[in-house]
Chains A and B, each alone.
Chain A
C-alpha cells in the first residue's frame, strides 16, 4: 500500500540528489576556471619563484661545497648548471600540473553540459 509509494519517493529523492550534485559540481568547475586574470598572476609568480629558488639552492650548495672542499670555482659551476636543470624541471612540473587541472575542469564542464542536454 504505502510501500511502492515510499520506494518511488526514494527514487525521486535519489534523482533530485544526483541532479543537485551535478549542478553543484558544475558550478564549482566554472568557479575554478572563471577566476581569470588574478589567478594568472599567481601562476606567473609561482613559476618565477620556482625557477629562482632552484637556481638559488643550486648556487648555495655550490658555494658551500667550494668553501668546504677548497675546489674554488668548479662546484659552483657544476651546481649552477644543475640548479638551472632543477629550475626547469620544477617549471615543467608546474606546467604539467596546471595542464591537468584545466583539462579536468574542462572535462567536468563538458560532462555537466552532456547531463543537461
Chain B
C-alpha cells in the first residue's frame, strides 16, 4: 500500500512478495511476502518481550516483568477455569496461540504494517490445527467413546437419525466460526479505519469531525484486537474442555 497509488480501502490486505517478483520452489510459490514478514516480526517481538522482561526474575516484578506475568496469568487462569487441572499440559500451545494472535493484531495496528490475522487462510489454518489437535486429543483420551460426543445424553435412541448429523455439522462448523470471527473482526476494523481516514482529506476543514471519530475508532480497534485474541484463546480452551471431559 504505497502512497500515491490506488486508494482502495482493501489495498492494505494485498499480499506482495517483498523481493518484487514471486520466488517459486518446485512449482510452489514460496516468496517471502509482507505477510510472512509480519509474522516473523510478531514472533521476534514476542520472543524479545518475554526473554528480556523475564530476565531479572525479580520477586517483586518491575513494569516489563509485570506485563509478561499478566499475559501468563491470563492464559493460566483461562485454562484453569475452562479446562481444569488437566489443561496444564496444553498451556504452552494455548499460550503460543494467545501471544501470536494478540501481538499479530497489535502489530497490524501500527500504520503501514500488515495484519496477517486479516487473512482467512491464516486464521483458518490456525483454527484447523486447533480443531484437528482437539479431535486427536479427544480420541486419544476416550477412544471410540468420543463418538458419544455426537449424541446428547438421555435423548431417545430414534432421534439419533436427526441429532447425529446436526451435532456433526455443529462440530465441523467450529473451525469455520473460530477463523471467520477473528478474520472478519480484523478486516472490518481496518477497512473502517481506511474509509473514515479517506474522508478526513476529502472534507477539508470539516475533516476534523472524521478525524475525531478516527481517534475513537483507533481506541476501539485496540480493544477489539485484544478482545479477539482473548476470544480465540478462550474458545480453544472450551474445545479442549469438550475433548477432555466430553460436555
Q: A: which residues have CB within 8 A of B?
A: 38-39, 42, 45-46, 49-50, 52-54, 56-58, 61, 79, 82-83, 85-87, 89-90, 97
**What B residues does A86 contact at CB under 8 A?**
166-167, 169-170, 173
Q: Are B167 and A46 in contact (CB under 8 A)?
A: no
Q: Are A61 and B181 in contact (CB under 8 A)?
A: no
Within 8 A of A (CB), among B143-188: 162, 165-167, 169-170, 172-174, 176-177, 180-181, 184-185
Partner pick for B169 among A38, A45, A82, CB 8 A cutoff: A82
Q: How far is the CA of A78 from the CA of B166 in the complex (A)?
A: 11
Within 8 A of A (CB), among B189-247: 220, 223, 227, 231, 238
Residue of B nearest to A38 (CB): B223
**What B residues does A79 contact at CB under 8 A?**
165, 169
Q: Can you name 20 A-B pairs with beta carbons within 8 Å?
A: A38-B220, A45-B181, A46-B181, A49-B180, A49-B181, A50-B173, A53-B173, A56-B173, A58-B173, A61-B172, A79-B165, A83-B169, A83-B173, A85-B162, A85-B166, A86-B167, A86-B170, A87-B173, A89-B167, A90-B177
Q: Are A42 and B231 in contact (CB under 8 A)?
A: yes
**What A residues does B167 contact at CB under 8 A?**
86, 89
Partner pick for A56 among B176, B184, B223, CB 8 A cutoff: B176
Residue of A nearest to B82 (CB): A97
Q: Are A53 and B227 in contact (CB under 8 A)?
A: no
Q: A42-B227, A49-B177 are in contact. Are A89 and B170 (CB under 8 A)?
A: yes
**What A residues does B227 contact at CB under 8 A?**
38-39, 42
State how many angstroms separate the Cβ of B176 from the closest Cβ of chain A: 4
State how many angstroms separate the Cβ of A51 from the closest Cβ of chain B: 9
Residue of B nearest to A62 (CB): B169
Q: A57-B169, A57-B172, A86-B166 are in contact. List 9 more A-B contacts (CB 8 A).
A: A38-B220, A38-B223, A39-B227, A42-B231, A45-B181, A54-B170, A57-B176, A85-B166, A89-B170
Q: How far is the CA of A65 from the CA of B176 in the complex (A)?
A: 19
Interface footprint category on B: 20 to 34
Q: How far is the CA of A18 from the CA of B173 in the complex (A)?
A: 44
Q: How far is the CA of A53 from the CA of B166 in the complex (A)?
A: 13
Q: Are A49 and B169 in contact (CB under 8 A)?
A: no
Residue of A nearest to B183 (CB): A49
**What A residues does B180 contact at CB under 8 A?**
49, 52-53
Residue of A nearest to B171 (CB): A86
Q: Are B176 and A61 in contact (CB under 8 A)?
A: no
**What B residues does A97 contact at CB under 8 A?**
238
Residue of A nearest to B181 (CB): A49
Q: Are A45 and B185 in contact (CB under 8 A)?
A: yes
Q: How far is the CA of A39 from the CA of B230 in the complex (A)?
A: 11
State how many angstroms separate the Cβ of A5 from the closest Cβ of chain B: 27
Residue of A nearest to B77 (CB): A28
Residue of A nearest to B170 (CB): A86
**What B residues does A61 contact at CB under 8 A?**
169, 172
**What A residues does B176 contact at CB under 8 A?**
53, 56-57
Q: Are B184 and A49 in contact (CB under 8 A)?
A: yes
Q: Are A54 and B165 in contact (CB under 8 A)?
A: no
Partner pick for B173 among A38, A42, A57, CB 8 A cutoff: A57
**What B residues does A87 contact at CB under 8 A?**
170, 173
